[in-house]
Every structure is written in C-alpha cells, then in structure tokens.
Amino acid sequence: MKNLKLTGVLILSVVSNIFAQLPDPGFIIDAKTAIVITDPQNDFLSPDGVAWGVVGESVKANNTVANIESLFKIAKQKNMLVFVSPHYYYKHDHTWKFEGTLEVLMHSIKMFDRKNALSTDDFENSGADWLNNYKKYINENNVIVTSPHKVYGPESNDLSLQLRKQGINKVILAGMSANLCVESHMRELIEDGFEVSVVKDATAAAILPGLNGYEAALTNFRMISSHVFTTTEVVEQIKKL
C-alpha cells in the first residue's frame, strides 16, 4: 500500500512538473510574417460602441486601442503586410433561422450593422466603421482588408486565401474580441497550416458576472499558439527586420 501511495505521489509530481514547464515553441518574425487584426471597429473599441459596456473595462486595462495602433504604425514603418478581418452584418444576416448566444445579442443590439454589401450609406463613423485612430493606417498600401467574417472565425471569409496569395505562412494575431474572433481566428489559421502567435495586450474581451472572456482566452492562447507576445516585445522584434 505504501508503494502504491508513493507511486501516486511521484506520478502527480511528474505531471505537475510537466505542466509547470509548458513548452514555448517561440516565434521568429521574418519576411513571410504578417499581422492579422480582427474587428478594429467602433462597436468594440469606441466608448460610443454598442459593446463598450461589457468590453470597455478590459480594453482600458490592456491599453488595447493604443497597442493595436502601435502594430499598425510599426507595420507601416517596416512595410509589413497587415490583414484586417472585419465583422459586418447586412439585412439578410438578420433573417438567420438559428443563432448562438452572442449572435443573438449582436443582432439585437445591431452590432456591426451595414445597409448591404454594396452600399456605404451611413457607414462613416457607424459602429461597423474603423476606429478613427486606425483609418490613416488601414488606407495605406501595406494593409489588405478581407471579406467579412460572419460569426467568429475566418472560415467564411477569404483571409487564408489572401495570406497564401501574398506568400505569408506566419501570423501575428491581434484585435477584438479575445475569446471570440481572435481565438477563433487563431484556431482556424493553425488548422489551416499557419504558424500563429498572439499579442495578448492588443486584444480585450467582455467581462460579465462570473464570466471573464479575456482570462479564458489567455489560457488558450498559451496552450495553442506558438508564442504569446506583449505589444512592446513584438514591436521590438519587427524593428529588427
């Protein structure tokens, strides 16, 4: 019996040690690396946005708005490609016959709404528009705006195609919202054969009673991606290109 107990203690010790030393594969930024930013839009990042009441605390705590801008800025300085994966809902999206929890919420508060895919009427400064801080960067030639994703991940847009067509195989991921679109993009891009890192303070998430989307995302960023950066770390690495 003593031997069994000792064996059990040793096994638990080994397992605990393994997880305490969770490997960090690392991420080397090179000429085949691009930045991907999800949903840099008013409804998430502006105090006037419809989601600010639940994401604002996390956005402010992480300095998310300024950190995303730092990524746009260094990418422009080094002529590094940035891919923006936006979130838009059109009239026909509001006729879906079934939806998940937050899809129902987003549609009910008219988050990311646009009149239709071919019209920019009432788009300027709407919740679906870019945060004003980012417009000067997104209009630059090093930024590619993909077709919109519709739920959380890029399965329904052309992000992977656009990355491949530009010869990109490594992605630095940031944007909104951490446990939804950012995490879903991370998972799908990894499944699609890209090497992915995440910038943990260039994102944020909803915080609700008993539910912290940002903390949930951090766990999965660490366990799934190749590396988790801070904005300062990734900017310093890009400067060396």
What does the pLDDT look like over 80-107, one tens digit per residue?
999 999 999 888 888 889 989 878 878 8
Q: What is the pLDDT of residues 165-212, one digit of tens each?
A: 999 999 999 999 999 999 999 999 999 999 999 999 999 999 999 999
Question: Strand 143-145 to strand 195-199: parallel, antiparallel, or no bridges (unpaired)?
Answer: unpaired
What pLDDT sits at residue 101?
86
Comparing C-alpha atoms, which of 98, 102, 121, 122 is closest to residue 111?
102
Rounded to whole angstroms, how far apart are CA atoms 95 and 107?
10
pTM of the complete model: 0.91
